[in-house]
Structure 1
Amino acid sequence: MAALDVLLGLGSTADLLRLVAVPAFAWAAYRDVRTRRVPNRLWPPLVGVGVLVLALDFAGGLPAGFGGEIALLRISVSVGLVAPLGYVFFRVGGFGGADAKAVIALAVLFPLYPVYYLPFDALPMHAATLGVFSLTILTNTVAAGALYPVGLAARNLSRGHLAPPMVVGRPARIEDLSTAHGSLMETPDGYTRRGLDLDALRMYLRWRGTTLPAVRESPDHHRDPTSLPPPGARNDPGDGAVGDGPPVADGGTQRVEPEPRTDDAAEPTAVAAEVDLDPTGGAATEDPWGAEAFLDEIEGTAYGTTPSKLRDGLEVVADPDRETVWFTPGIPFVVPMFVGLVVALTYGDVLFVVLRVLGLLP
């Protein structure tokens, strides 16, 4: 191992192996933008590499005396504090499954500052005093994420889209929502920060065997709960993925999409009408769109969707007088995390440099 280090002259073997995170996170960021889904199989190998490089660090020998104690403290903070924080944020809803696993992988891979020697300098250029590199990556991630609303507002302003949600959302044609990711920012009563998740909308449409254009063409028919297919003819809703293939999402399982039903099967039947009548013999109008039936039948909560939120979202997208609607694409957190990783490996800790320039740090 030592011979390899000398031959390359760029850094220790452990630090060079850590660079596998760069292409891995680049691919994860790409997948996060395109599909909002990162396969689970990416993270165990990265954690495995992290364990290996930690073993190499110990085998190479930590600094003697107090320096070694500091290194052990930094490793303890990264593995014992930063990694569990990723899980905690996932449990409270602050992170998605992929985001939490990415934080855990980074905490194991980068507890200490790596060093890479170039002809003109050594990278990273600026190290934080605390010296826990995974924390540097996370603070850089937050800084990169903070630029997203600024860019979104500038984009909307340049296109003349002036509205209260312009800092966190953008308008889109309703017909394009079928392949968009994010959540609606409008209800029949006005703007909202917690509108219908578009993945949940796709789940609903698949479940009842219809499409967004069909809903817009005949909203009254779809609003009537007696128009739902009978229970045996309803589809597996999947997990809201855009692609036609059987997706595997974080925390999810392989789902096989059922064969498309014929137009005749999608039409309401006498059996369906009888099933959906209330005990008094009247139409079950207390469940417009069959929203409660959908959420009662599926597994999980459809990304926090409630019957009222689903109904509000459907009323917005079914409104024939609307051509566009505001929605927020959100921030795929793995994307700023990739940016934060690259900046940390090259420039270093952005927050530390800013605080030092402001005179808040020596």
Structure 2
Amino acid sequence: MTADRANLIGLSRAELTARLATLGEPAFRARQVWHWLYCRGARDFSEMTTLSKALREKLAMSAAIVRPEIVTEQRSADETRKWLLRFADGKEAETVYIPEADRGALCISSQVGCTLTCAFCHTGTQPFVRNLGPAEIVGQVMIARDAYGEWPTPQDQRWISNIVLMGMGEPLFNYDNIATAVTILMDAEGIGISRRRITLSTAGVVPLIRRVGEELAVKLAVSLHAATDDLRDVLVPLNRKYPIAELMQACRDYPAADNARRITFEYVMLKGVNDTVADAKALARLVAGIPCKFNLIPFNPWPGAPFECSSNEAMVRFATILNDAGYTAPLRTPRGRDIMAACGQLKSASERERLSRWKARLAAGIVDDHHPAATVSA
């Protein structure tokens, strides 16, 4: 995308208004364009029939509407769908849709690769490449809405009813872009996802948690996975910078948390590591006083993983202890494992496929400009 034909997707309302002002257009035109982009899902300026033909032509000369490119799409036996998306610079990330009976959650990525190295997460073994911009974050939602025919924005039932920032990357290490994108997604005159249906998941970037609550007021999920610093330092190395006591205080102070919007503590169940009776009791004590619930996640294996999933007996016992302490603690049913779309598995399979394609091209004498092995874990 050249500088003189900027992508309008991902611009804030103020930025879109300023862009149109450079074309001599009044502010209300931005509202019209916004409607076509985010309520009706227009792919081309020629579709914007409430604008004059002259303005549509002027926009086509000076701007563009660009979604990510779909490289591959996979559908699981349980109807989970996963898209590998390519951005303008050739970098890629994955987006996953998890359906329910009459609705579903879209899991979107915030980074290419990941800045964290959580021990149980295969995504964390992928090297960090860069942050995603607002257009690339919003574009993931638009791709999914294309797939489910959700244009214009439905007034009632939606297949894509919830957005979860739980894909590749740590959202709070890309806060400004995330904030712009989430604001666009929540705008009532466009995509119109309620803040109560958007969940941001963090490994615990403590200084930014309050800001999320004050500025976005979305639901908060925290990847906890341990009740002590000694264990969490190993499982979630970010804990060495922001230890559990600081993280728990940030959760207690989270402005958007109440009984209706409880903080979710995510806890991956690792056999013989964090699944004992003592672990469960320590966890219940740790979160006392925080409006919260738990999401117990059976470990999703990946090649070479150093962990095993806890036994069903251990997981049920763990959940029962938390339930008896007064907390909701469901065991998540793994979704999309057969297409490597489950929690902690994103990008791993696609990176191997990309490296295989590169090797095949090399064997055929086709030289690529970009060596994928430079950004792929062995």
TM-score (norm 2): 0.28
Structure with larger Rg: 1
More strand by share: 2
Higher relative contact order (CA 8 A, sep 6+): 1
